Every structure is written in structure tokens, then in C-alpha cells.
Structure 1
Amino acid sequence: MVRLDENEISFPDPELYDGHEGIIAFGGDLSIDRIWFAYQLGIFPWYNPEEEILWWCPDPRFVIFPNDLRVSKSMRKILNRNIFTFTENQNFKEVIKNCQQTSRKGQAGTWLSDELMETFIQLHKYGLAKSIEVWQDGKLVGGFYGLQIGKVFCGESMFAKVSNASKAGFIHFIETHKDELELIDCQSHTDHLESLGAKMIPKKEFLKILYENHERR
């Protein structure tokens, strides 16, 4: 692994460097510029808040192609009942706070530190991060957020306070934006997303799609 210099925003080339089990660098900071640059390279931070920042670009990569979306009959019935309504970028702070506070199976705490959360809030203010909110009876019951890198949406985290809320939001997002998206990056495997059609692809293929669908800046 490569130690990053806090005074220089740079990363090892993920096309040429595999790192250790998907970790290609550590250290650095969580500045807006570094986070934005990292995601354009297909790199993301994932670490325990009390530890050093770890930067990942795993191989293979867990993704979903919009045309591969699978919606079960039972889920389609739930969507057709219109028990949920959906908005975008209407309450980013509440979505990311709920994602931070949601307990995860097999995790003792949260990986989403206050510092990283504040960076994403600032990225949202610049129009680079977006949130999808799921409502029921006027209450926020689910949602997720991520970064839009050209035609690739890099999903970060989701939450649900009632059954099927986050799944409904994810399906709605893909069906609404499938003509504008080439790929949704899910980063790491979950059974929840696999049931919706997500799958593993080689890192090389993921990076090719990412680089072809945005201009790095």
C-alpha cells in the first residue's frame, strides 16, 4: 500500500496497482478535492473512524447495469400500490445522518465518520453528491446517497426505517434515470443488492466504463 501525502492530492493508478485485498493507499485527508478526485479514479474511502483512512479499489467490483435491474412480483405490487413517494436532493443531510446511524449486520459501529459526512454534505452543495428520499405519510422512511460521476452513479449508503423503503427508492431511481446512466457502482457485495440484479465485474472493466463516461478534472 502507498502512504498518501496530506499536502498533495494524488493516488496510485488503480489500473496499474492492485494493492492489498483492494486497498491501494492509506492516509491523506478527507478534503472535498481529494474525495472528488478519488471517485473519478474509481477509488473510495472505507475505514473505521478511529483508524487511518483506507482507500479502496477492489477487484472484482460489485455493480448493477440499469438494464439488469430485477424487480420481483411482490416488489412490483408494493410499488404499484403507491405507498411510497420519492424525491431527489430534498433532504440530503437527513438521508446521510440516517445512513450514519443505521446499524449494520456484522458491524459494531459506523464507518461513516462525522468528517466524511461533512465532506459529502459540502459535495452536495456543489451539486456533485445527490440523495434520493423515500417518504411514507409525510415521513422520511428511507433513502440513499452517492456521487454522480458522469454517467456512473457511485452509491455510498442507504437506510430504511420501514420494510422495502430503501429497495423501493433504489428501483425508482434506476427506472427513472436508466436512460442517463451506464452503471451504478455498489462497491461491495450485499445480498440485498444482488437480489436486484447487481453482480461482480473485473476492476478493469469497471474502470473502463467509468473513464469512458466522464471527463476527469
Structure 2
Amino acid sequence: MIHLPKLHPGVSESFPDPRTALEEPNGLLAFGGDLSTDRLLSAYRQGIFPWYNPGEPILWWSPNPRCVFETANVHVSRSMRQLLSRSTWTYTIDKAFGRVIRACAGEREGQRGTWIGEPMIEAYEALHSEGHAHSVEVWDGENLVGGIYGLAIGRLFCGESMFSHATGGSKAALIALCRLLESNGMPLLDAQVTNPHLLSMGAIELSRDEFLGHAAALVREKRPADMWGWI
């Protein structure tokens, strides 16, 4: 019988050591608790993130291996380079965070999205209002055609989800984010769980221990205060 630690809403308590997470399902660490700003920031600083279906208990994860992007090494395919060179898309930061997270919450083929319920949306909008969560938006005129959002903690960016309403929209958002991060000395983008789409764009896998080691150092470092004002 599997014993899974339980967290309690409204209680200040420590997470279990992420190295004690289950092997099956891969990375499941604890359940319960809440989505308060303090708890979420504590989780991400320790390499832990929430992922659960609406109506179910909150589940906390730290999978092994961990999917990440080295921001200097995002892969831009030839076809994507051609698309970007002929497009008239424009890019913004934090102009439409609420629209991005709600678009990510929609069901999309090949991407996990329906797990983002209203409590998650409210929690990350609170993180955004306090300057922790950020979005990159891709626009075709006044139409939002792609986007990505996540948390910036020190020099680590913890990616949460992305969406596309036009061919290449999510890829363009990811590429723009990686370039922004790399140019501002943020070398790692946590992509959490591996999938073929991320691998095709240059994501790599790190063991949990490797990831936790990198993350522990990066979250303690400062990033440029004004980096979210331009792209």
C-alpha cells in the first residue's frame, strides 16, 4: 500500500523531500494543501509543481527525469524559420496574461490543457499580480494567435503551459521566451514533463538530482528587474 503525504489547507508546512516522490506514477510527491501564493512559490523553489484535474485533490509532483530547455539551445526548424521570416506577427510580454492562461486551459489536441481549472487560473493570476508569473503573447494584428506562461524565480523560469490559435503560434511564443531568458542570463526553462513536441524543439532530460541541483542555485540568484518590460 502506497503512503502519500497529505498537506493541509491554510497551514504553513514543509513539502516532503522531492527525492522521495513515487516512481509510479512518476514524480507524485504529495496531495492536498492549497494554491496560496506562498505555497506555490515554496513548491517551485524546491522543484515541485501542482498538476491535477478539476474536482480532484491537489497533487504535487517532481518527476524523474525532468524536461528542460537550455534557453540558448532552443531548436528552430527550417520550416519554422521560414514561417517567422514571412509572418507579420508581433510579440508582447504580460499584455494579456489572463487571456493566455484561459487559452491554455482550453482542450487542445496533443497538449495537456484541461487540467487548468478556475482555482488554478485564480492562483496564477494572483502570482502574476505580484510579479511572479509572466506571459509572452504572439499577435497577428489584434488577434492573439499564441502564448506561453509560467513563473520566474531568480534565474529559473518554470514553464506551465502554452497554446496556439494559428500554425506555429505556440512555437513562436516558446522561441521568443527562450531568447528573452537567454539574453537576460536565465539559462534554464523548466518544461516539467517530456513529450515529443518539446523534444523536437530542443528540450532535454535531466535526472531529478541534476535538475534540483541546478534549480537550487538558480532560484537564489537575482535577475534583471526590468526584463519583463520588453521583447
Correspondence for 1:3: 6
Correspondence for 2:229: none
TM-score (normalizing by structure 1): 0.93
- The answer (yes or no) to whether the contact 1:19–1:25 under 8 Å persists in 2 is no
TM-score (normalizing by structure 2): 0.87
Q: Deviations over 1:164-211 (max 9, x none)?
A: 011011112212331321201000112221111001110111111111
- The answer (yes or no) to whether the contact 1:88–1:133 under 8 Å persists in 2 is yes
- The answer (yes or no) to whether the contact 2:89–2:139 under 8 Å persists in 1 is yes
Cα distance in 1 for partners of 2:118, 2:67 equals 26
Which amino acid in 2 is paired with 1:192? H
Give the deviation of 1:65 after TM superposition.
0.6
Correspondence for 2:166: 162
Give the deviation of 1:104 after TM superposition.
4.0
Q: How many residues align?
A: 214
Correspondence for 1:35: 40
Cα distance in 1 for partners of 2:181, 2:33 equals 34
Which amino acid in 2 is paired with 1:58? P
Cα distance in 2 for partners of 1:8, 1:149 equals 20
Instruction: In structure 2, list runs of 5 or more residues that go unmatched.
Output: 222-231
| Structure 1 segment 174-193 matched on structure 2, within 5 A | 174-179=178-183, 180-193=185-198
Give the deviation of 1:82 after TM superposition.
3.6
Give the deviation of 1:32 after TM superposition.
1.4
Which amino acid in 1 is paired with 2:171? K
Give the deviation of 1:33 after TM superposition.
1.2
Match of 1:99 among 100, 104, 129: 104
Instruction: In structure 1, list runs of 5 or more residues that go unmatched.
Output: none
Distance 1:188 1:127, change over 3 A: same
Match of 2:78 among 64, 73, 77: 73
| Structure 1 segment 30-179 matched on structure 2, within 5 A | 30-105=35-110, 110-179=114-183
Which aligned runs of 4 or more in structure 1 are off by greater than 3 angstroms?
A: 104-107
**What SS class does the counterpart of residue 178 from structure 1 fall into?**
helix
Root-mean-square deviation (CA, aligned residues, Å) is 1.7
Q: Deviations over 1:46-83 (max 9, x none)?
A: 11111111100001001111232111111111222242
Report % sequence identity.
43
Give the deviation of 1:5 after TM superposition.
2.3
